[in-house]
Every structure is written in structure tokens, then in C-alpha cells.
Amino acid sequence: MWRIPVPEIVHSIAAAGELGAGDVHLWLVDVSGQSPPLHTTADFLSAFELARAETLPTGKRDRYLRIRTVLRLLLAHYLRIPPRSIVIRNEPNGKPTLATRHHMDIRFNLSHTGGVVLLGFSRAGDIGVDAERRNRPADFPKIARRIFSDNEYACFEQLPDAQQRSFFYMVWTRKEALLKGIGRGLRVPMNAFEVTGPTPSPARFQSGMLRIPVHDEWYVGDAAFDSDYCCAYALPGLPADPRLFQRSEGELCSEWRHTHG
């Protein structure tokens, strides 16, 4: 029986435990705080990341450093190797992935919005995640008409105004999570598949419109972290039962320093 995942406030990264075969862990991490001291960041990140950070304007640089630090700390926990020794590559489509030399079937994906980053880690195959801050003003009916399927748009239209916004964000984040799971990003038309239904629900592809081969059945679901953010994940195969964790980047860094010196 499917259970709605409830976020756990973990008190150390170690409390998250291992990522066993078939496991899916989702982390919502606050990255809005102060950057860790530079020497600490340099201990965690690769030379490429540090060089890239130097090319960014100050605000974006701090956020980039914090996000990459969080990604590496969590990967280091699951892989049990130092954060800096992890080799992350981008696939030709831009999706970041672990280099095969790590000999682990861990897949990951991330999404940043506002002051948070949502990270998904899976040993149940590929994964895509998406997070959106809910309070952004937008012309929801106009965007929905463009990116929803006809069925989804009909559902959207029937809802009272007060419910349209949350339905919009649910469908939007599920669609982006799916596109990021299959690695295609927004080059694929978002109205070419449907993601509505009880959580988690299989995506239904309209053949011909997707223009890419998708052989696996993909499942999309929502992660009820924080009412300010709408979070979704997508996985191939059977629906998984993800565990949810919520921390801040500063807390993760200090826990790591405390444990690893």
C-alpha cells in the first residue's frame, strides 16, 4: 500500500543511512544562509567547480558553491569516499551523473528554486526532480494552455480559482521531473504526456508527439516537504517509496566537519 512520505528532520547525515538497492532519498536543503568559509568549500569541491565559481557574479557564485557543496557531501555519504574525490560528469544532454569509476549504481538529480535545492538520489534507476516556489506571480491559465495536455487543461479549467494554482504547480513540477528523469529537459513538448492522477501515477505518453523513444513506464509523484515549495520526482518502473529529509546547507557542513574532522 502506498504511504504518503513524511519529511524527517535528520540530526546527522549518517542518520539517513545507506542508499540500499531500490531506495530513493529526497533532500530539501536550505541554501539561503551564509557560505561556509572558503577553505572549507575548497576542501569539498573540485578544481573545475572552484574555477567555474570564479566566473559567476557574487550572488550566483555563493549559491553555486553552496549547492555543489551539498551535492558532494550527500554523494560522499552514500559513496563513502571524500567529497572532493567524486567525479561528476555531464551527459551530452546536460544531465549531471557520476563517473562510472565509482562502481555504484547511484543516480541523482537536482533542482534549485528560491533559497532551496531539492536533491534526489536513487538506486532504483534514473531519477528526475523538480522544485518550484509557489508564490511566483504568473498567468497560470495561459501557461497551462500551452504545456498541459487537453485532459489536464480540462481538469485545470474545472477547478475553482483557489485550487488552480496548486494544481498548476503539481502538474508543472511533475512534468519537469519526468523530463529531467529521461534527461531531455524542456526541449520535449510538455503537452505530449500526462502526469495527473493519484500519487504516484504513471506518465501516459501520446505517441508521435513525444518524438523520443520512451520504453520504460515512468512514475511521477509529489514530495510534501514545505508548503512554500512544490516538489516532484520521477522514476522508471514501479512506484518507489521515497524517504524525505530536510536540513540546511550550514547544518550539513558543520555535521560533516564534526564527524570527519
56 binds ligand COA (CB under 6 A): no
DSSP for the chain, written as a single string: ------EE--SSGGGG----TT-EEEEEEE--SPPPPHHHHHHHS-HHHHHHHHTS-HHHHHHHHHHHHHHHHHHHHHHTS-GGG--EEE-TTS-EEE-GGG----EEEEEEETTEEEEEEESSS--EEEEEETT----HHHHHHHHS-HHHHHHHHHS-HHHHHHHHHHHHHHHHHHHHHTT-GGGS-GGGEE--SSSSEE-EE-TTTS-S---S-EEEEEE---TTEEEEEEEESS----EEEEEEHHHHHHHHHHHH-
Stretch that binds ligand COA, among 5-13, 98-106, 155-163, 173-181 (CB under 6 A): 173-181
Using the rule CB under 6 A, is 55 a contact of ligand COA?
no
Q: How many residues bind ligand COA (CB under 6 A)?
A: 18
> Smallest gap, in angstroms, from Cβ of residue 228 to ligand COA?
16
For the CA atoms of 21, 130, 216, 219, the dihedral, rounded to the nearest 10 degrees, stands at 80
CB-based contact 212:202 (threshold 8 Å): no
By CB under 6 A, tell whether 175 contacts ligand COA.
Answer: no
> At its nearest, how many Å lie between ligand COA and the CB of residue 179?
6
The answer to the question of residue 69 lying near ligand COA (CB under 6 A) is no
The verdict on 110 binding ligand COA (CB under 6 A) reads yes
Q: Which of 36, 45, 62, 111: binder of ligand COA (CB under 6 A)?
A: 111
Smaller CB distance to ligand COA: residue 17 or 96?
96
Residue 77 CB, nearest approach to ligand COA (Å): 19
Could you say whether residue 212 binds ligand COA (CB under 6 A)?
Answer: no
Rounded distance between C-alpha atoms, residue 229 and residue 5, angstroms: 15
| Under rule CB under 6 A, residue 93 binds ligand COA | yes
Per CB under 6 A, the list member of 114, 115, 125, 183 interacting with ligand COA is 183
Contact between 94 and ligand COA by CB under 6 A: the answer reads yes
Contact status: 180 vs ligand COA (CB under 6 A): yes
User: CB-wise, 119 or 240, nearer to ligand COA?
Assistant: 119
**Burial (CB count within 10 angstroms: exposed 0-12, middle 13-18, buried 19+), residue 12:** middle
Q: Kindly state whether residue 143 participates in binding ligand COA, applying the rule CB under 6 A.
A: no
Taking CB under 6 A as the rule, does residue 96 contact ligand COA? yes
- Closest CB 57 distance from ligand COA, rounded Å: 15
- Closest contact distance (angstroms) between CB of 110 and ligand COA is 5
Q: Which residues bind ligand COA (CB under 6 A)?
A: 67, 93-96, 109-112, 128, 130, 176, 179-180, 183, 185-187
